[in-house]
Chains A and B, each alone.
Chain A
Amino acid sequence: MLAIMKRELLSYFTSPLGYVFVAVYYLFSGLFLFLFTLSYQSANMETVYTGMFFVMMIMIPILTMRLMAEENRQKTDQLLLTSPVSLPRLVIGKFLSAFAILLVCTLIFLVYGLVLSGFATVNWAIILGNIFGMLLIGSVFIASGLFISTLTENQMISAVGSIGLNIAFILIDSFAAVMPAKFLQELFSSLSFFAKYSQFTLGVFSLSNIFFFLSVIFIFIFLTVRVLEKRRWA
């Protein structure tokens, strides 16, 4: 598991992908911070966190697109799948490699907090809560991207497919609005990724939301393992 994570990280940083990803993340988050917070002389980062949801939604598929697709294309999956490594460990190793990069990215918000504390009082609990929230939603996107990547040999299809899936997560809200029956509306609203994430940005730290996202991550990792398992039976 650690070996697989290490190999993926090595691979992220022997190509420009890893550096570019981190740089673009810092660029967007810094830009949002400047536009939505600093320029208003405020320490309220709510809009920044909301913006990061969409940045991650589009960017993380680019991080995860090659995770399994490239193995499928180069047939290196033959090495992994004939090694004495269980499938869950293999998948979790892959997941952790992308998560490590996300972590490096997200921790920049500690720096932003320090910057803000220079001229305003910042609520560190809210910053830490949002770092946690961003890691959580980021992990959801990593898990969904990893799942899509397993289904194809083509990195482009993998990226586009994952972005599509992530957009579908957002559209849950719109579906809720047009549902004919009240209970369906409620059902869809209760599944809304964006509404749940928004609570973090408002400083609400709800256990049920955390549990919801953790379940989604678990489901996608489980599905990824199932796909790899099922491929053998094709």
Chain B
Amino acid sequence: MIEVKNLTKQYGSKLAVNNISFSVKEGEILGFLGPNGAGKSTTMNMLTGYISSTSGTATINGIDVLEDPIAAKMHIGYLPEKPPVYGDMTVMEYLRFVYSLKKSKMPRESHLAEICELVKITEVRKRLIRNLSKGYQQRVGFAQALVGNPNVLILDEPTVGLDPKQIIEIRTLIKKLGKNHTVILSSHILPEIQAVCDRIVVISSGSIVANDSTDALAKNMSADHKLVVRTEGSSDDVKKLLSSIPGMDRVYVNREAEPGVYEYYLEATQGKDLRREISKKLSSRNYPILMMKSNELSLEEIFLKLTTGDNYGGVDK
């Protein structure tokens, strides 16, 4: 379990992380999302005790990282932004070194062999890390975080530099690990977070702008009361007809989607579901509905909306 309270980091006059609070439950995968320079790595470095916070606290399984760093670090596996590997060691030498650093009590060789299998580096385990490709070095970095089987995993952009097939494999692995580990995963790639995480914290310029479950975030932001409708018939007539529905705030003719078929953006008063009225109204005049869907924002749009300051009501702040 990870608990972050009012965490702040100031570099000189630059506020890198501004008073953020969130928590991650046992067995939860939290996505830490934000554009470049948002403060993701800085936060992770504070969680793992690499740097100290200016103020605020971070606790790992109930242990304050600053008060009892050694005990807290026993529970953490950390993959920093740049994998902390030594080029002059072979993969196995390196993992054995990490094993003794972490003071792991697990049977060494079988434990390390298992990790190598998990991140698929078994075939390179006798090679010098310096001679491995960037993707493989990244995987060795990932392997390092798993040594000693810590129950909290903090992964800073774990799929950077991997090929698409590997990305999918690593995501699957993280999902699997998420079942019995507490995981924080940072990324600026939305589909990645969406595919893997139970919950998303969006951070922008050092502050949290959203903190919600992946589904809820999409739902909250995507206004159910906004619809896209396509129907046949004169656009003026349809516009007048739809505007007459009580509760309809705005009707906007977007474009002619097919010959004689227009697409309309409809906006009802917040929280009102007008789909039935619309359908009845149109069929009363024999205008066939060719498409109707809620104007759901993709996570990309939500992300941009959140991080460019165009804040949306209903989002947990």
- Give me the interface of A with B, judged by CB distance under 8 Å: 2-4, 6-7, 10-11, 14-15, 74-86, 231-234
Mask: chain B, 80-103; 1 = CB below 8 Å from A; 0 = not:
101011111100010001101111
Nearest chain B CB to A158 CB, angstrom units: 17
**14 A/B residue pairs, CB under 8 Å, sorted by A:** A10-B89, A14-B88, A74-B86, A76-B84, A77-B84, A78-B45, A80-B101, A82-B76, A82-B78, A84-B71, A84-B101, A232-B50, A233-B51, A234-B51
Q: Which of B45, B73, B84, B89 contacts A84 (CB 8 A)?
A: B73
Cβ-defined contact, B84 with A79, below 8 A: yes
CA distance A232 to B66 in the complex (A): 11
With CB as the reference atom, state the residue of chain A lying closest to B93: A10
CA distance A234 to B14 in the complex (A): 12
Chain B residues 52 to 87 lying within 8 A of chain A, measured CB to CB, are: 52, 70-71, 73-74, 76, 78, 80, 82, 84-87
In the bound complex, residues from chain B placing their C-beta under 8 Å from that of A76 are 84-86
* 10 additional contacts (CB under 8 A) given A82-B73, A82-B76: A2-B100, A4-B101, A7-B97, A74-B84, A75-B80, A76-B84, A79-B98, A80-B101, A81-B49, A85-B70
In the bound complex, residues from chain B placing their C-beta under 8 Å from that of A75 are 80, 82, 84
The 5 closest A-B pairs by CB, nearest first: A3-B100, A79-B84, A83-B101, A84-B73, A82-B48
Interface of A, secondary structure class, is helix
CA distance A10 to B129 in the complex (A): 14
In the bound complex, residues from chain A placing their C-beta under 8 Å from that of B71 are 84
Mask: chain B, 153-195; 1 = CB below 8 Å from A; 0 = not:
0000000000000000000000000000000000000000000
Interface size on B, residues (CB 8 A): 29
Cβ-defined contact, B86 with A11, below 8 A: yes
Would you call B144 an interface residue if the criterion is a C-beta within 8 Å of the partner chain's C-beta atoms?
A: yes
Nearest chain A CB to B44 CB, angstrom units: 10
In the bound complex, residues from chain A placing their C-beta under 8 Å from that of B88 are 10-11, 14-15
Cβ-defined contact, B50 with A78, below 8 A: yes
In the bound complex, residues from chain B placing their C-beta under 8 Å from that of A2 are 100
In the bound complex, residues from chain B placing their C-beta under 8 Å from that of A4 are 101
CA distance A234 to B10 in the complex (A): 9
Mask: chain B, 39-50; 1 = CB below 8 Å from A; 0 = not:
000000100111
Given A7-B97, A74-B84, A79-B144: A232 touches B89 (CB 8 Å cut-off): no
Q: Which of A6, A84, A233 contacts B103 (CB 8 A)?
A: A84
With CB as the reference atom, state the residue of chain A lying closest to B72: A84
CA distance A7 to B129 in the complex (A): 14
CA distance A92 to B46 in the complex (A): 25
CA distance A15 to B89 in the complex (A): 11
